[in-house]
Structures are given as C-alpha cells and as structure tokens.
Amino acid sequence: MLESRTKAPSSRFRTSQRRPLACQECGKKKVKCDKQLPCARCLRLGLQCSREVVRIKHNVVRHADEIEFLESVTADLEILPSSEALQSVIQKLKHRSRRLQFGGDAAFLLENGPQSPRLGDMETHAQFGSPSLDTIRYIEEAGIRVPSLNDARKLVQFHLQYLAWHHNCLHAPTFMEECDVFWGTGRCVHPLWLAVYLCVLSVTVFAIENSAKSQRSVGVDLEQLPSARELFQGFVNVLHRCNFLGEVNMYAVQAIVMSNEVANNLGQSQLNSNLFSAAVRIAEYLGMHRIQDSGSPSTKASMSWQERVEREVGKRIWSSMMVQDHFAIHFTDSYTISPAHVSTSVPLNADDHDLVEMPRHVPTVSSYMRVLCEMAEMMPDLLDGLGITNNQRSVSERYKHVLSMDRRMRETVRRFPPCFLKQDPENEARLPWLHIARRSLAITAAEKIIMIHRPFLIRSYQVPRYDFTRRTCTAAARTILREHDALAQADDLCVWTHTPFCITAAVILCFEINSAGDGDESTVASHRAAVIATRQRLAHRKSDVLAQRGVALLDILLDQPANHDVSALSTRVMTEIDRIPMTPLGVSDAEKDMAWYGVCAGNLWSEGLMAETVEDRPSDSEPSPGQERIDFDVWFESMFVNFEQHDES
C-alpha cells in the first residue's frame, strides 16, 4: 500500500533518457524550435513557451532508494494535522525528491510554472544582459547611425510599397507593426530583428539614391541620412554582436537574404557569399526547407493568423534563398540547396492583408518571386546536364543540352502571368511597382538565356557551329540594354541585378564589336553606341562599386583594336580587372568580388568545358533547326509586347 502511494506523485510524468530541449508548442505543430526558452517562435506569436518536464531515467535509477524514502516520508507527514512548520518540512522534502528525479531547472518549473512571453519581450542574451533590450541605447553604444524616426518611417513605407516585391522576404503588416513598437518604445521583438530593420533601410537608401523621382516621392534629404554602406555595416555588426551563428534565429536568415539586394553593389560580394552559406545552414536547422503546406481548409481554419503569417514568411524567405543559390551557379560551379532535399513549396500568390491565394494571373507581392522560382528551378538541371565535374560528356552532348535548356527557358517565359508580359493599367494603378517589375523580368529573362548559353559563348565567336549561341546572346544583350535604358529614361528604381546584367550585356556587345567583319559598319556603330550609353548610365550611379568596376572594364574593351581574338581578349580582361583601382571606392585591393568575376568577365564556369575541339565539327547527331533556332529578337517581341508606350507615373 505504501509503495503504490509513494509512486503516485510522479506517475503522471514521462521517464526519458534526456531532458527535451524543444518547447511543447513547437512540438505540437511539428516545426523546428530554436531550443531557447522562451523560443523565438513563441515570442513572435505571443504563445506560452514551455518544455515538457520528464523524469530523467539515469537519476531515477541512481537515486531510487532515496526517492522512495523521501516520498514515503512525505506521504506519512501529509496525513498529520497541518501546521506552518509541517508544511515547510513537506515542501523541502518534495523539492529534494523533484531535484533527484527531474534536475534543478525542471524542479523550478514544477514549482513556479512556465512564463508566458509578451510581444516585445526578448530572449535573454549574454551580449545584452537582459531579456528586454533598450534598442536605442544599444544602437548608440554600438555607434550605428540610423535615420530619424520620421525619415525611417518614410523609408520603410516606401520599401514596402516599391521594393519588397523583389526580395519578397517580408509580411508588410507584421513588419510595420514591429517597426511601430520599435519607434514607439525603443524596444524590438528580438535582438536580431534590428538586423532586418537596418537591412531594409540600407536597401531603400541605395535604391532612391539613384532615382530623383523616388527621392521626391519619399520626401527625405539624403544628405541627412546615413549612407547605404553605413547601414549595411550596421546590419553586419548586429549579426556578430548577437552571435547569429550560435543563437540561430529566422531574423538572421531574413536579414542576410535581403542584404543581397545591396551587398554586391557595395563591393561586399565575398562577405555576402559567406553570410549566405551560413544562412542556408541556419535555415535548414530551423526546418525552413521542410515547411509543410497547411493542407485542408479545416487545418487552415484551425491555424491562428500569426501561425499563417509565420509559415508564409518562412516559405518566402526560403524561396528567395533558393533563387539566389541557383542563379549563382554560373560562377560557383555548384549549388548549395539540393532540390531533392526540399519539400517547402513556393509562396502563395496572395496579398499580405489576407493571405488568401489568388489565381496565377492576378499579380500580388509574391508574383515576381514565384516567376523567378520557375526559372531558378532549371539551373541545377542545366549544371548537372553539362557534366562539368563528374560524368564528363562530349562537347556535342553538352551543346544539345544547352539547346534543350534554351527551349525549356523560352517555354517557361511563355507561361509568365500576362501582367509581366504586357501593360496592365488596371493592376499598375493598384501596384505601383508592377511596371518596374515587368521590365526587370524582361531583363532577367534575357540574362538567363545568356546564362544558359554562357558555356559556349566564347567558342561561338570561333566556330560556326555555335552561331545560334552568338546570335542569341547578342540579341539578348541588346534587349537588356534597351530595357535598362527605358528604366533610366523614366528615372524609375533600378534593383541590384540591373547593374551586373547590364555589364554582362555590354561585354557581349564589345565581343561582338571586336569580332565583326568589314561589312558590318552600321551594326558595329549601333553596338558601340549602346555600350557607350550603358557606360554613361553606369558612371552616373552613386555608391555602386559594381557599376564603377563595370565602367573601368568597358573602357578596356572599347579601347581594343578590331578583329582581336576574343579568347585572348577575354584572358586579357581577366588580367586587367586586378589593376582597376579599388581603394577610392572603399573596397580593399585584396577583396575578390565573386559576382564581378563570374558575371562580368565572361568566365565560362570551367575551362575544361572547352577542352575538346575535335568535336566542334557538325555531326550526324547535330540537332535539326527547330524552335530553338528562332531568333531571340523575334521570340522576345512575341512574348513581351507593348513595353515602349508605358506612361510615367
């Protein structure tokens, strides 16, 4: 009788080999927990965060006799007449028994219960010394310059309205609420949220710096604002001060992914690449690559609004990461994110205010990123099919693969939502960024065609068999420069990709100028005029290190004598790049700008790809002319229509 009575108090607790680290709320939803208490997810959602209390098997076995004795004595004392002194003794006995079975922290939770976090509370962090950070004081101590409250509000609102569509990493209402809390109280939801905030400001300042129309729209004085570089450096400082590699959190991933919008242009490509690699691992640790769809309507109905927002933001961030990773294949020769190991679907085609999925043809803040995902999904197949490292393939097989991927890309573009292929006045009135997104997508689609043909680009100037690649890349290059010129003439915003894509296009036209025959004077003059105009646009860009390096490169190319061997010219260009002065631009001479070398200098992935020359002659297996032989200009004009008459807003 005594034995059964002594076991009763702890019988409701599970016995386990070790103490759970993930919280119960995350466990119920089967999502990754950062294993802090309270965890970041519960903080964001305002949920009660607690861990399951279990009896540690090792402790129970080791202290079995003492535990049994303590519980039997406690049970005997509890039947005696109650008194204050007796209750004190009973509590001490119970506390000792709990410590033996559950450990010190678990015993405390049993006696005091879990704490329910409030929005605005933050996880205790050694760098900050308290669970609630006075962010204003921290910013001052860290020496981070930030805009005034009034200017910051204008910049954030402008970003959400005109720039968020390009990275699609935010839920605008949630981020605005978090900003309001920060502006009103000086506190933020999590230390790493400050990195997101600074990143948004950096991207916005950089964007409006090169658009007078946007500056007027925002209504801020750039002279009074910290520079995009200062804000970017503040974002990096926050990451390190918050120990983002040790204290993993989705805010760090979110900030790093968004920083790509400005890092390369500021000459921080190597830093950005390393941060991105870390962000991928953090995201995988948090389970962002395996976000399950909400499923049936009943499941959706049972989810809170905060949970729906969190799920959607996670999908948005992961999709943006996938796009960045796969589009970088042409200068990394690899991809970090393996499609076979990912189950997270693309974001909903939904507006932020209700997250209700809309038909594909209806433009939303996620529409542009969804289209980029469709193009990015092709890139691992492109690389694997070329067999650059293992599973080497013949040149003929590789070129067949390039032509196949060309057809596939054109078919993907053909399926773009109509709002990205032609003017849509009704939706443009509702979404002020849509006309910029349409031209940006035209530039991106043309660049991806070049990306597909890049392995055979230099060879196309030497071997007639690859003339289709030469004509396609030349036409795509002219398309990129034409669309970029239209954006510049309208004084519209330019997103970060426009600079490297324009440099790529201008380099291709320089190669074309260099290789033109004696009877092509008018074509050469047209190409040269387009390159010079591009050089002038790039030269006028402020704070854009990548643009200034592009200007230096184009000066080298334009100075070359006609009919120079393109392969030798490409080699000389790679040599001359290192001689371009970098110190006045605020970038170390030792920094190797990955984006520059990969995108702008015509690096052909692997030199070994062009090693085989005996197969350059046409063979019986050469693909017959077909859809892939349609000139790029004809195809592009049939896809993207009515671009020229856009009314400036």
* Predicted structure pTM score: 0.76
Q: How many angstroms separate the most distant Cα atoms in the chain?
A: 114
**Is residue 171 within 8 Å of 312, Cβ to Cβ?**
yes
Domain presence at residue 343:
no
Paired tokens of 406:
């060309």
Residues 87, 209, single domain; the answer is no
In a domain, 618, yes or no: yes
> DSSP letter at 53?
P
Q: Is residue 200 part of a domain?
A: yes
Q: How far apart are CA 461 and CA 566, in angstroms?
A: 7
Output phi, psi for 15, to 5 deg.
-100, 135
**Which DSSP state fits 563?**
T
Stated as kind and residue range, the H or E segment containing 409 is: helix 395-414
Mean pLDDT by 10 residues, the chain (649 residues): 41 68 80 77 75 70 72 78 74 70 51 37 29 59 84 97 97 95 87 95 97 94 94 94 90 97 94 96 93 69 84 96 94 90 95 94 97 96 82 86 95 94 91 95 95 92 91 94 94 94 94 79 92 96 93 88 64 58 38 38 40 50 48 67 47
Same structural domain, 562 and 473? yes
Cα separation, 383 vs 305, in Å, equals 40
Q: What is the DSSP letter of 264?
A: T
Q: Which domain-ending residue is among 236, 252, 271? A: 271
Could you tell me if 105 and 151 lie in one domain? no
Q: 409, 448 in Cβ contact below 8 A?
A: yes
The first and second tokens of residue 327, run together, are 């589009």
Cα gap 649→110, rounded to integer Å: 63
Residue 525: give the domain boundaries: 455-639
Residue 84's pLDDT is 72
Separation between Cα atoms, residue 300 and residue 520, nearest integer Å: 63
- Asked if the structure places residue 559 within a domain, the reply is yes
Q: Phi and psi at residue 297, in whole multiples of 5°?
A: -55, -35
Spatial distance between the Cα atoms of 506 and 533, rounded to a whole number of angstroms: 10
Nearest-angstrom CA–CA distance, 344 and 311: 10
**3-class SS at 121?**
strand
Asked if 155 and 267 sit in the same domain, the reply is yes
What are the backbone dihedrals phi and psi of residue 230, each rounded to the nearest 5 degrees, phi first? -65, -45
Amino acid at 284: E
> Dihedral, CA atoms, 506, 599, 450, 207, nearest 10 degrees?
-70
Distances (CA, A) of 587 to 264, 267, 497: 12, 6, 20
Assigned domain for 267 exists: yes
> Is 407 contained in some domain?
no
Residues 80 and 201 in one domain: no
Structure tokens given for 433: 């960024």
Say whether both 225 and 101 belong to one domain: no
374 secondary structure, DSSP code: H
Q: Both 106 and 168 in a single domain? A: no
Residue 325 lies in a domain: no
DSSP state of 564: -
CB atoms within 10 A of CB 278: 16
Q: Where does residue 287 rank: exposed (0-12), middle (13-18), buried (19+ CB within 10 A)?
A: middle
Domain-terminating residue out of 271, 292, 311: 271
My answer on whether 607 and 486 are in the same domain is yes
Residue 56 sits at φ, ψ, to 5 deg, of: -80, 120
Domain end position, chosen among 271, 296, 317: 271
The structural domain count of the chain equals: 3
Query: CB-based burial of residue 79 (10 Å sphere; 0-12 exposed, 13-18 middle, 19+ buried)?
Result: exposed
Within a domain: 278:
no
pLDDT at 351: 94
Regarding whether 174 and 94 lie in a shared domain, the answer is no
Helices (H), 490-628: 498-515, 521-539, 545-558, 566-577, 594-595
Of 476, 413, 480, 433, nearest to 640 (Cα)?
A: 413
Please indicate, yes or no, whether residues 107 and 141 belong to a single structural domain of this protein.
no
Question: Can you give the C-alpha Rg of the chain in angstroms?
Answer: 30
Instruction: Give the pLDDT score at 466.
Output: 94
Q: Strand 55-56 vs strand 15-16: parallel, antiparallel, or unpaired? A: parallel
Say if residue 465 is in the same domain as residue 514. Answer: yes
Cβ proximity of 604 and 455 under 8 Å: yes
According to the model, what pLDDT value does residue 626 have? Answer: 47
Nearest-10 Cα torsion for 273, 275, 281, 283: -110
pLDDT for the residue 339: 94
Q: Same domain, yes or no, for 505 and 631? A: yes
